[in-house]
Structure 1
């Protein structure tokens, strides 16, 4: 292997070691209670080394956002001509909400969602990341739909998908917080997911106010 290849492999190992140390501490002590210095000590590196790989403490927690965003965009790009992009996005929801984790890593998924619920800082960061995801998804949708940017249809579709994902994610976090195992929580979410995406397909309609006409 070339010297450049060895350096890149070392960088990947160091980044992974830092992230593994960070997530272990976050899950054990709570995100807000852990400092970057704590992470550095756990990973046996300096604080400066941590910041060489991660710009902020929040980035340590959300390290897989780029990988998951790539998977979301690929689900749109892989759609065949004439097929439903919305169905492809529906098929992607559970993968996104579980970080692509297999059932064997259910406890890690549950801990991730619990940590977000317990930390206002993570919730704010998550909202910021949603803006970046919306912009990237809208661009991919515009290309798939064959519409030039800026595209109202693509932007609206991206916004609606992320809103659907957020609703389903809230339902998932509620069930996990109540102590339901991840496989059982996901099973309960199947009809919820179907209803949410059925609403996206048909639209909300006029949202007529309930009660007797006045």
Structure 2
């Protein structure tokens, strides 16, 4: 029985991967908004109903790696040893999150992924929805890591600040990739910005005094 279950799970995994691969190929070739679920089903050799057995929405097909990436972010916090900096652990996650763990060998895929989001309002809205989910999950992980003695709302504020920092860095990465900069160069040139952003998170914004002559 266990062997049958194992084979069944392998078949389901292969079917899911086939559907996702077909979807991403079509999205990158024709643009996300121009592709229908029927197109994806036809490309994958399955029915539309089968597609929806594995993915609730078309957006879920595009952001299929959202759950694993969210889990990696939470694990980075939970795997911190007592006394270690959670902020440093999050800093080390940024580029992994923004490239879905892709290496420079997959640079074209990363660039096409970000370009598709820029071109589709539907994907931009879904990305914002995913950010709200990530904020809730990250807040819980940070609350657990920081402990009951942490100031009120510190975990929620830290989660919001990390995600804001990730968004700023992600916008710069996206801009560089859309200008045709190789991923390896973009990574290297983003490191000083990442250091600056996380230094600001560590030290705080300060009083933010307005410059210029008084009115």
TM range (shorter): over 0.9
User: Does the CA-based 8 Å contact 1:142-1:148 persist in structure 2?
Assistant: no
Matched, 1:95 2:69: no
Name the structure 2 match of 1:83. 84
Instruction: Please report how far the alpha carbon of residue 75 of structure 1 lies from its aligned counterpart in structure 2 after TM superposition.
Output: 0.4
Instruction: Please report how far the alpha carbon of residue 101 of structure 1 lies from its aligned counterpart in structure 2 after TM superposition.
Output: 0.8
Change (3 A) 1:150 1:125: farther
Which stretches of structure 1, 4 residues or more, deviate above 2 A after TM superposition? 147-151
Residue segments in structure 2 that go unaligned for 5+ positions in a row: none
Name the structure 2 match of 1:4. 5
Name the structure 1 match of 2:137. 136
Change (3 A) 1:150 1:33: farther
Instruction: Please report how far the alpha carbon of residue 213 of structure 1 lies from its aligned counterpart in structure 2 after TM superposition.
Output: 3.0
What is the CA–CA distance in structure 1 between the aligned matches of 2:149 and 2:126, rounded to whole Å? 30
Matched, 1:38 2:31: no
Name the structure 1 match of 2:58. 57
SS at match of 2:83: coil
What is the CA–CA distance in structure 1 between the aligned matches of 2:96 and 2:77, rounded to whole Å? 14
Instruction: Please report how far the alpha carbon of residue 147 of structure 1 lies from its aligned counterpart in structure 2 after TM superposition.
Output: 2.5
Name the structure 1 match of 2:74. 73
What is the CA–CA distance in structure 2 between the aligned matches of 1:28 and 1:194, rounded to whole Å? 36
Name the structure 2 match of 1:208. 209
1:137-176 matched pairs, under 5 angstroms: 137-147=138-148, 152-176=153-177
46-55 or 149-158, which moves further after superposition?
149-158
SS at match of 1:162: helix
Name the structure 2 match of 1:22. 23
What is the CA–CA distance in structure 1 between the aligned matches of 2:104 and 2:77, rounded to whole Å? 25
User: Does the CA-based 8 Å contact 1:139-1:149 persist in structure 2?
Assistant: no
Q: Calculate the TM-score normalised by the size of structure 2.
A: 0.97
Name the structure 1 match of 2:178. 177
SS at match of 2:93: helix
Q: Calculate the TM-score normalised by the size of structure 1.
A: 0.97
May I ask how many residue pairs the two structures share in their alignment? 214
Query: Could you list the per-position Cα deviations for residues 151-177 of structure 1 after superposition, in whole angstroms to 9, with x for gaps in the alignment?
Result: 500000000000000000000001111
State the superposition RMSD in angstroms: 1.4
